[in-house]
Copies of this chain bind each other. A is one copy, B any other.
Amino acid sequence: MRYVPAVTRPIRIGLLGCGVVGQGILRLITSRDRSLERRLGAPLEVRGIVARDVARARDLCGLDPSLVSSDAGRVLDDPDVDVVVEVMGGLDPADAYVKRAIDAGKSVVTANKFLLAERGHELFERAERRGVDLAFEAAVCGGVPVIRVLREALVSDDVVALRGIVNGTSNYILSRMTEDQLDFEVALRGAQEAGFAEADPTLDVSGGDAAHKLTILATLAFGAKILPRQVATEGIERIAAVDVRMAARFGHVIKLLAIGRSLPGGALDLRVHPAFVPAHSVLASIGGALNAVSIVGDSLGPCMLSGLGAGAMPTAMSVVSDIVDVGRNLLMDARGRVPQRAVREGLLVARDVRDAGQHVGPYYLRFSVLDRPGILARIAGILGAFDVSIRQMVQEGRARHTTDAVQVVLFTDPCRDADVRSALREIHLLGGIVEPARAIRIEEG
């Protein structure tokens, strides 16, 4: 009764992309060939590598240089390629290539979060219809196996909520601001010098990257059709050193959170924004370039995963584990074994997404005001008129001149987001307000 593989030939891989992750994949496949063969039950064989810079890839791949080409057809049209591994990134031409691979009946492993966030539903359905595997552990938080946990470990549960620190760059910058009392701009430059932020950090610090990841996580967690533009997104660019200092003074730290919740009534709450979290919470302890995702399951209760969110080797490791996974399905003739969650019966369901203005929770508010008599009373009055009640008020510093601004910080009771925004707009019209107020949500740990 010992198992006999349905396919006794090697699992043959075509690699699209030969950047740092692609090279990491090749390194793992070649250096761990024997243990991978033992665990998979068949050897892995690289049939072709598609790279933009062919000469460079030939130098770096560590394999027969003739495997490298700039022609994706060499991989996509090769009937002997079983698994297409896409680590090019970006929407085009990755989208077309992945679709061609699926249509050709090949299993696909991708690390492309942009592609999945924007085109995931189409790709899931296409793979499901064609009966092939589409695996993407590395697409979200490279070294955190959250996709597998959502798709498989929680298959018998309903996810109620998830909350994550999913952008390592932002987390690194906020950690530096907290630990070293740096301004945002200084911390950003430090992150760039340390290799934790790109030359153009916009997608990271604006929350856009986190919104992509939340889209994928929430699609799986809630079995819903979600697009990145449905995620209310706010970045960390406007967090100032004084906000971080105030957070610490009141027992909190500031983290960029990605939050998805299934609300009573069926709508989803989807948002990415900086938030105060208690200093002794588990989320607060996720420092530097780490990522973490906490999941609340109806039966499971709370569960959290953390690890390196990016980096060539953690990401490559996740890709190769996915290759082994889809390889086992090929050997067993069991492709499509794990359906794209809730897709089996047709499509992912559409779910309403609650307007961000409907969010209710406590807020941290900071005003830069000229130190004039009566201004605090007027701020408090406007907040009160919008049902924003103040729990605590602190003034930092004392102005020496009437033209100096002081920082006034308020902590509110739970209130409606739209009311806070309306109140802040009205307060901004007061004389003596030096710059737009900052509002940061306070989340529980």
Residue of B nearest to A132 (CB): B1
Which one of B153, B307, B345 contacts A300 once the chains associate, using CB atoms below 8 Å? Answer: B307
- Are B149 and A149 in contact, CB atoms less than 8 angstroms apart? yes
Q: Measured between alpha carbons, how far is A382 from B197 in the docked complex, in Å? A: 52
Q: In the complex, what's the smallest C-beta–C-beta distance from A301 to chain B, in angstroms?
A: 5
Query: A63 within 8 Å of B by Cβ?
Result: no
Q: Measured between alpha carbons, how far is A153 from B38 in the docked complex, in Å? A: 16
Of A50-58, A235-243, A326-334, the stretch lying at the interface with chain B is A326-334
Which one of B39, B105, B321, B336 contacts A341 once the chains associate, using CB atoms below 8 Å? Answer: B39
Chain A, 281-335, CB within 8 A of any chain B CB: 281-282, 284-286, 290, 297, 299-308, 311, 313-314, 316-318, 320-321, 323-325, 328-329, 332-335
List of B residues within 8 angstroms of A24 by Cβ: 299
Query: A64 within 8 Å of B by Cβ?
Result: no
- Are A300 and B329 in contact, CB atoms less than 8 angstroms apart? no
Q: Measured between alpha carbons, how far is A306 from B286 in the docked complex, in Å? A: 13
Q: Measured between alpha carbons, how far is A285 from B277 in the docked complex, in Å? A: 13
Query: A342 within 8 Å of B by Cβ?
Result: yes
Residue of B nearest to A282 (CB): B285
Residue of B nearest to A1 (CB): B131
- Are B299 and A316 in contact, CB atoms less than 8 angstroms apart? yes
Q: Measured between alpha carbons, how far is A264 from B152 in the docked complex, in Å? A: 34
8 more contacts with CB within 8 A, not counting A24-B299, A304-B307, A328-B338, are: A38-B345, A40-B155, A154-B317, A155-B321, A297-B317, A302-B308, A332-B337, A337-B337
- Asked, given contacts A28-B299, A334-B332, whether A153 binds B137 with beta carbons under 8 Å apart, the answer is yes
Query: A129 within 8 Å of B by Cβ?
Result: yes
Query: A351 within 8 Å of B by Cβ?
Result: no
